[in-house]
């Protein structure tokens, strides 16, 4: 019996290389510990029927992803077979699922936040905001944080969805909040970067971000990195509570909507200039760039020494982190604005024509 109990407990524990939320972790670094094959192969494709802009979560051998049809899907990572389907209020657009302690959380464009049993897709609770939700949920302890186009960042009880606090900004809260060091961080559409106390939502600090920000901040140590609609990327030194550097493409001025991945001394993100950029994390100087054939709204994921990123040119790219050299690509046949999820030795990404691809 003791061995059985241990095995059952192990089955409930999340694997170390899972990708349980948007950008993989509460700091939104976009980095996975998973080991992937040197050359990827397409293992399966699932036809979801309508567009996928939600980025997948991978936990305990299951892929969870939202679809514009308003369906939240649970798909077996090994086989690509549907396990269950949950229908939300309206379409699930860019909000990406969070999986934690057997519950899946996601928002929809009706402004409803849903908590669903991860095992069978049964509804547990819902919470209604005042406008559409494109932000993705994150969790700290027993609290779920998510933004809404009604201008609020919400802190909800993970157990029952009760409102614990909300913080009101002067514009949409589009981006996903990041969690680090007892604070929740938001880079807002009101052009202000904020750190709020997890406990009570009181503002610990704020400073101007210098631009309308749709990207989510990636946190590493005392630094935050995010792109703006002012056509630049900001590196914020949180110890000094100020923007330390800005980067612009010297040749083409376009917004940065992709959320950054950050590891070591490198920040990697896509731009609407059709380019993937790799920057020095301390100086903001370009290390390398890689040109695609359309805008890159997909947020890169990093595993080992490789970068995985989609493009609206319909391709999933694998790039060398050190040099930016293309190592592999896959033609999906439709724009890939969703971001890749990496877990269980696999890469999963959805396309705007409703296909979910799994590579390994």
Q: How many CB atoms lie within 10 A of CB 22?
A: 28
Closest CA to 187 of 166, 213, 167: 213
Separation of alpha carbons 323 and 273, rounded Å = 20
Over residues 298-341, the pLDDT tens digits come to 999 999 999 999 999 999 999 999 999 999 999 999 999 999 99
Position 15 scores a pLDDT of 78
Closest CA to 62 of 42, 39, 85, 95: 85
Over residues 37-78, the pLDDT tens digits come to 999 999 999 999 999 999 999 999 999 999 999 999 999 999
Over residues 191-212, the pLDDT tens digits come to 999 999 999 999 999 999 988 9
In degrees and rounded to multiples of 5, residue 285 shows phi and psi of -75, 145
CA angle, 296 then 186 then 288, to 5°: 35
Q: Are 225 and 234 in contact (CB under 8 A)?
A: yes
Whether the predicted pLDDT of 9 surpasses 60: no
Residue 115, token pair as written in the block = 């908590």
Separation of alpha carbons 72 and 88, rounded Å = 7
Q: Give the 3-state secondary structure of residue 158.
A: coil
Over residues 215-249, the pLDDT tens digits come to 999 999 999 999 999 999 999 999 999 999 999 99
Position 188 scores a pLDDT of 83
Position 14 scores a pLDDT of 61
102: region left, alpha or beta (phi > 0 left; psi from -120 to 50 alpha): left
Position 2 scores a pLDDT of 37
In 3-118, DSSP assigns E strands to 31-32, 42-47, 57-59, 62-66, 71-76, 82-87, 98-100, 103-107, 112-117
Q: Are 287 and 322 in contact (CB under 8 A)?
A: no
Whether the predicted pLDDT of 158 surpasses 90: yes
118: region left, alpha or beta (phi > 0 left; psi from -120 to 50 alpha): alpha
| Average pLDDT score, the chain | 95
Separation of alpha carbons 129 and 163, rounded Å = 10
Q: How many CB atoms lie within 10 A of CB 113?
A: 25
240: region left, alpha or beta (phi > 0 left; psi from -120 to 50 alpha): alpha
Q: Are 188 and 226 in contact (CB under 8 A)?
A: no
Confidence of residue 130 (pLDDT cuts 50, 70, 90): very high
Task: Quote the distance between the C-alpha of residue 180 and its chain's center.
Answer: 16
């Amino acid at each position: 019996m003791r061995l059985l109990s241990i095995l059952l407990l192990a089955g409930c524990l999340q694997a170390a290389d899972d990708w349980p939320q948007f950008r993989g972790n509460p700091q939104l670094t976009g980095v996975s510990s998973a080991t992937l094959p040197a050359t990827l192969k397409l293992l399966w494709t699932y036809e979801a029927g309508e567009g996928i802009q939600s980025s997948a979560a991978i936990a305990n051998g299951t892929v969870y992803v939202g679809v514009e049809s308003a369906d939240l899907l649970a798909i077996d990572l090994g086989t690509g077979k549907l396990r269950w389907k949950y229908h939300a209020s309206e379409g699930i657009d860019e909000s990406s699922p969070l999986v934690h302690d057997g519950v899946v959380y996601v928002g929809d464009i009706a402004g409803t936040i849903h908590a669903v049993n991860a095992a069978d897709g049964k509804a547990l609770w819902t919470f209604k905001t005042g406008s559409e939700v494109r932000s993705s949920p994150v969790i700290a302890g027993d609290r779920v944080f998510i933004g809404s186009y009604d201008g609020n960042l919400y802190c909800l009880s993970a157990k029952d969805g009760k409102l614990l606090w909300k913080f009101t900004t002067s514009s949409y809260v589009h981006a996903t909040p990041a969690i680090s060091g007892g604070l929740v961080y938001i880079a807002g559409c009101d052009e202000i970067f904020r750190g709020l106390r997890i406990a009570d939502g009181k503002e610990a600090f704020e400073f101007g971000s210098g631009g309308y920000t749709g990207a989510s901040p990636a946190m590493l140590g005392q630094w935050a990195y995010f792109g703006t609609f002012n056509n630049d990327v900001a590196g914020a030194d949180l110890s000094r509570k100020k923007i330390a550097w800005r980067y612009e493409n010297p040749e083409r001025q376009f917004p940065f909507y992709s959320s950054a991945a950050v590891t070591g001394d490198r920040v990697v993100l896509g731009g609407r200039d059709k380019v993937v950029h790799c920057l020095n994390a301390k100086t903001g100087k370009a290390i390398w760039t890689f040109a695609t054939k359309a805008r890159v709204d997909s947020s890169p994921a990093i595993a080992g020494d490789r970068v995985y990123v989609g493009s609206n040119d319909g391709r999933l790219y694998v790039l060398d982190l050190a040099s930016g050299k293309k190592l592999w690509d896959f033609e999906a046949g439709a724009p890939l604005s969703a971001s890749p999820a990496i877990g269980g030795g696999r890469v999963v990404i959805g396309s705007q024509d409703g296909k979910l691809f799994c590579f390994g």
